[in-house]
Amino acid sequence: MKKCKRCKIIKSLDKFYKCKNKKDGLCYICKQCASEYHKNIYLKNKEKKLLQSKIWKKENRDKMLKWQREYNMLNRTRSAQWAIDNKEHLKPFQLANWQRYYAHKRNLPNTLTGIQVQKLFTYFNNACAVCGSNEKLALDHYISLKNILCPGTIAANITLLCQKCNSSKNKKLPLDWLLQNYNFEIAHDINYKILQYFSTLEVA
C-alpha cells in the first residue's frame, strides 16, 4: 500500500505508475491524480499543443505513413478477426460514417455519431419506426438530403426504417409519404412517435 502525495489517499501499489528514479520504483502520485494533472496541463495549453502536433505531423508525414503501414501489416489478421467478432458492435458506427459522408458531399452538417445510432436502435427496439419490421434496417433522413430544408446528418434528422419503407419514402416529405400509405390517424400516430424520439434528443 502507498499514500498518494496529491489526493492523500492510501491505495494499492498497482494504482501507481512505475518510476525508476524513486526508491520504491513508483511515482509519488497515483494514476488517477497523474491523469488529472496531465489533463489540466493539456487544457491550459490546448491550442499550443494542437499547433505543435499539426506541425510535427506535417514535418514527419513520411515517417507517420511508414509507421501506419507497418502497424497495418502486423495487425491485419488480428484487426480482421476483431471486426468479425464485433460485427454487431461496429454496425452503428459504420452506418453513422456512411451517412456523415453523404451529408459532407452536400456541405451539410454531419455530426451523427455511432453512440447516437446505438440509442436510435434501442429506442425503436431494433425495428422499423414505421412498420415495425426488423428486416434489413437502414438509417433514413427524416427530411431527405435532396430536400433544400434538410438540416443534414444530425441525430435529430435520422430515423430507423426497414429497406422497404426506406425505398418507398425516398425523398418525399415524411408526413406526405405516411398519408399516402396509411389512413390519417395511423399516419399522424407514426409521425408523432418519430417526433417524440427527436424531442428526447433535445432534452438530452
In sequence order, the 6+-apart residues with CB closer than 8 A to the CB of 14 are none
Q: Cα 176 vs. chain centroid, distance in angstroms?
A: 31
Q: Supply the pLDDT for residue 108.
A: 93
Q: Which of 42-56, 64-78, 83-97 has the lowest mean pLDDT?
A: 83-97
Around Cβ 185, how many Cβ atoms within 10 Å? 8
In whole angstroms, give the CA distance from residue 40 to residue 152. 34
Q: What is the CATH number of domain 88-203?
A: 3.30.40
pLDDT score of 83 more than 90: no
pLDDT score of 204 more than 60: no
Where in the chain are the domains? 2-44, 54-85, 88-203
pLDDT tens column, 4-45: 999 999 999 999 999 888 888 999 999 999 999 999 988 999
Q: Supply the pLDDT for residue 202.
A: 65
Around Cβ 160, how many Cβ atoms within 10 Å? 25
